[in-house]
Chain A
Amino acid sequence: MNDQHDMSEAVGMIRESAAGIADRNDLGRIRKLRYSVPGFDRTTWRDMCEMGWLALRLPEESGGIGLGMTACCALMEELGRALLPEPMIGAMLAVQALDEAHLPSVISGEKIVLPVWQEARSSLSVGNSVKFEDGRISGTRQYVAMAAGADAFLVAVVNGWVLVEANSPGLSLEIVQTQDGGHYGTLTFDQVPASTISTTAPSVPLAEAALATAAYLLGSIDETIERTLDYLRTRVQFGKAIGSFQALQHRMVDLKLEAALTRASVGDAARIWDNSAGSARAHAAVSRAKARASTTAMRVTREAIQLHGGIGYTDEHNIGLYLRKAMVMAPAYGDAKFHRQRFAELTKELSETAE
């Protein structure tokens, strides 16, 4: 009971602290950063780190705050509401695998380290084409979000992680822009010197990143619904607020229901994860949450455009920013179909007996 109280207090503080940096009422900064490189702000990054966000999940003896996924999801929700472009999800994944020696400069925000693990589209497992031999790595990895802003990369290899400085000879970075104003990097390593950092198994931090992404989407979903409701209450056509029309009301109810299911699913996954991190049940709960969040985010943001009518189709209106963000985040760390299948695999045994 006391734990629960402490947790809700911690969550409340996180939400409050987030409001200053992740201001959902001012998307001006987000607009200015769009389609620039690296697409986010190092000053804001340092502010975020000063709040302790990057170290949220780390144990206190490593300079962290020692909170669980419930708290992490609360933070991610706030970031998602305000569409923050800073690569917090990736950086959090990386600090989970970093060693003590490298942590201080990273969690202070001085040095940005992003994880490099993905080769296949819509995946949640480390690609196997990158080879690490005799202190050097070779191969290609892709979909590294905000890669151009990293000072170093933490690269997943067989049996662990190695650190590569961004300016290392033999490392080339190609970027492609994404709809939300950010970018993905494709990294090609040609005999790049790398140092072994840890043997942390990647499955746990990757699942946590998938859940964090679901929570970020949840925040975006809620904000999209609130913005759309505001519009329906104020936009007048045929002499009435259009929100008085039943056809539109029923659509909004269905969207709100999907959002409520997403909130329940993400909340459940975070609780289950905090009780039994890394168990099959916890991994299944993460997949359930990410599948729901990805599907709902696309549906809600898509319908929000329709409900806004013509103004929703302009780039000047902010509602479109939420659709573009969903287009990028819904497939990140595994899309809905991927997570449905992963859920089915993880619960195969359970479903044969329990239902």
Chain B
Amino acid sequence: MNLDRYRLDDYNALSDGEFRTLVSEFLNNHHPKGIINPPKRLHWDEAEPWYMILSQAGWLAPAWPREHGGMGLSAAKQLIYMDEFERFGAARTPDHGIMLLGPLLIRYGSDEQRAHFLPKILSGEHIWCQGYSEPNAGSDLASLRTEAVLDGDEWVVNGQKIWTTLAGDADWIFMLVRTDKTVKKQEGISFLLVPMDAPGVTVRAIHNLDLQDEFSEVFFDDVRVPKTNLVGEVNKGWTMAKALLGFERIFLGSPRQAAHALSRLRLLADHVGVRGEPDFEDRYTQLRLDLADHESLFEESADRLRRGETLGADVSFLKLNQTSLFQRITELMLDIAGEDGGLLEPIGDNRDLNPMGLFLTARAATIYGGASEVQRNIIAKAVLDLP
């Protein structure tokens, strides 16, 4: 497979229309057919072929600068890339290395760390997972207690992480650890890189409400890593991790989940034969309006990104609204599905008729990435200026 024609020196020199066409062609020609719009988050063995195609084309890291092997896309081009991937229903790969760690290393890592880790992310040699949440540090993440203590030239890590996405597939974990217990909780946290095959690391899969196992617990029992595996300065981990949340938050606020759910609602409505019933039509129209208005709101933020502005705390509105809308859509699905809404497997074995799966998946959306209640706390203080 020759992917050279997708490797350009300067993608930003293309017009928006040309770039959109290129992305769309790439997806149509090269995205593996069997995993379009996957019903669940793919494990590495399912996602690897697609990851390697992206890798060979040089398309894994749209936001990374050219010098580090990324596509170096402008904010406007990144949004087109994201938009086309969503429109196509492209499968999400295990992308924590690309989305989260890469930008952090580029901004805060040492030259040695960048030279060692970035190429391995791009080649697929290192798949990363993220170790932030702990059993007692979820919404209140800064109270995390997994500890790293310096012993000679090594950090010794003890503690437990939870809700680690695809930990079983990962070769490495980037994690927030406590390195000072005597200061304000946000000021005693550092950012550490740990290989998953280090002695003392144990992974236990968690079966979620949807009976999938994308999340895990990860235990650290006297795990030793070199001192040089710490990124940036000691005790600056919180500030670094927070500085990179902006793009993740607009990603979580994108209309993609809700738009996908709405298209499935329409298929289900046809299947159960409620189209044309006034009660259904009014609720369905309301959801369509909600989605269209959400898209308008999302575009406002996207426009600001395109103009090179940074997004403030009001980007939390997008996550709050999108996830709640996603849930309302799946609730209407269950309402019209009758007994079929209680089935364990998709209706008639048709994976597009799986309101139960979507309904259960949607429960997580208002919890992860900052629960809706936490988003509201943030907005109340930072946007509404309430005491």
Point out residues on A near B: beta carbons under 8 Å: 229, 232-233, 240-241, 243-244, 246, 249-250, 252-254, 256-257, 260-262, 264-265, 267-268, 288, 291-292, 337, 340-341, 343-344, 347, 351, 355
Contact = CB atoms under 8 A, between A and B. Distances in A.
A344 B386 contact: no
Q: How large is the interface on B (under 10, 10 to 19, 20 to 34, 35 or more residues)?
A: 20 to 34
Given A257-B320, A261-B321, A344 B281 contact: yes
Interface stretch (B188-196, B244-252, B348-356, B377-385): B377-385
B296 interface: yes
A244 B379 contact: no
A72 to B, nearest CB: 18
B377 to A, nearest CB: 7
Interface in B282-308: 282, 285-286, 288-289, 292-294, 296-297, 299-300
B281 A256 contact: no
Interface of B: 259, 262-263, 266, 281-282, 285-286, 288-289, 292-294, 296-297, 299-300, 314, 317, 320-321, 373, 375-377, 379-380, 383-387
A229 B386 CA distance: 7
Contact of A351 (B259, B288, B314, B379): B288
A184 B383 CA distance: 39
A249 B299 contact: no
Contacts, number: 90
Contacts of A243: 386-387
Contact of A261 (B297, B383, B386): B297
A158 to B, nearest CB: 31
Given A233-B386, A355-B266, A253 B376 contact: yes
A255 to B, nearest CB: 10
7 contacts: A250-B377, A253-B320, A264-B300, A265-B296, A291-B289, A340-B285, A343-B285
A261 to B, nearest CB: 5
Classify the secondary structure of A's interface with B: helix
Nearest to A342: B285
A231 to B, nearest CB: 11
Contacts of B293: 261-262, 264-265, 288, 292
Contacts of A355: 259, 262-263, 266, 288
Contacts of B314: 260
B143 to A, nearest CB: 18
Contact of A249 (B259, B285, B320, B377): B377
A343 B373 CA distance: 32
**What are the 6 tightest A-B residue pairs by CB atom distance, in nearest-first order?**
A249-B380, A264-B296, A264-B297, A243-B386, A268-B296, A244-B387
